[in-house]
């Protein structure tokens, strides 16, 4: 869909059986950060949502991160503000609201986790914050809209087709009546 943005979130976990230090070293290189900056700006704050980008760029980010061994998740980005959370005496984020909603649904984030929106200093429960920023309403799927239009077109063609058959039947009957009348006239004039 044109204009849609997606974001990839590093969860802070490493994929099955991978060596965490080597995974994080590769992720730091992917993000073009030196080891110290990566530890401070990313690793100390995971989960962290990367900047929202178009679908293809987000897909490439996700593939590169997971190939390096990092656990990451790609979600639709919406206009809701980014969120910071407090987890075990550290501040994590920023996180997309889509990731927060996902984490709450999956039970990966506690509803009572202290959270605040980016640029705010007011902390509240994560669940209350997520409720203040509900997901955008989703339009009906394009395929069902197309199916509805196609059904209307078929119905219209059937009506036109039915009226066409009705007109043809009337013409045939009128022709037969006319031929019968001509036949009677010819028979009277002969006889």
Q: What is the reported pLDDT for 1? A: 44
Query: Mean pLDDT in the chain?
Result: 85
Quote the pLDDT of residue 157. Answer: 62
Render 138-180 in DSSP notation, one character per residue. PPPPHHHHHHHHHHHHHHHHHHHHHHHHHHHHHHHHHHHHHHH
DSSP E strands in 25-125: the ranges are: 48-49, 70-76, 83-87, 90-95, 114-117, 124-125
- Entry pTM: 0.69
Tell the residue number behind the tokens 């679908």, with chain if given. Answer: 55
pLDDT in tens, 11-58: 999 999 899 999 999 999 999 999 999 999 999 999 999 999 999 999
- Give the percent of the chain with pLDDT over 70: 82
pLDDT per position as a tens digit, 114-152: 999 988 889 999 999 999 998 887 666 655 555 666 667
The pLDDT tens digits for 47-98 are 999 999 999 999 999 999 999 999 999 999 988 999 999 987 899 999 999 9
Q: What are phi and psi of 71, to 5 degrees?
A: -85, 125
pLDDT, position 113: 95
Q: What is the pLDDT of residue 145?
A: 56
Q: Does residue 24 contact residue 71 with C-beta atoms inside 8 Å?
A: no
């Amino acid at each position: 869909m044109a204009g849609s943005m997606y974001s990839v979130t590093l969860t802070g976990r490493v994929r099955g059986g991978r060596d965490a230090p080597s995974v994080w070293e590769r992720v730091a290189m992917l993000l073009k950060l030196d080891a110290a900056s990566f530890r401070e700006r990313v690793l100390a704050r995971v989960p962290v949502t990367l900047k929202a980008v178009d679908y293809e760029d987000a897909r490439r980010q996700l593939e590169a991160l997971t190939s390096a061994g990092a656990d990451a998740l790609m979600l639709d980005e919406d206009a809701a503000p980014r969120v910071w959370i407090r987890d075990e005496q550290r501040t994590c984020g920023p996180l997309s609201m889509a990731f927060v909603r996902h984490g709450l649904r999956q039970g990966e984030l506690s509803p009572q986790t202290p959270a605040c929106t980016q640029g705010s200093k007011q902390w509240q429960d994560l669940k209350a914050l997520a409720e203040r920023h509900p997901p955008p309403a989703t339009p009906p799927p394009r395929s069902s809209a197309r199916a509805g239009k196609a059904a209307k077109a078929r119905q219209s063609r059937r009506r036109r087709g039915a009226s066409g058959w009705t007109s043809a039947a009337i013409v045939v009957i009128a022709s037969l009546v006319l031929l019968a009348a001509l036949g009677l006239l010819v028979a009277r004039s002969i006889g």
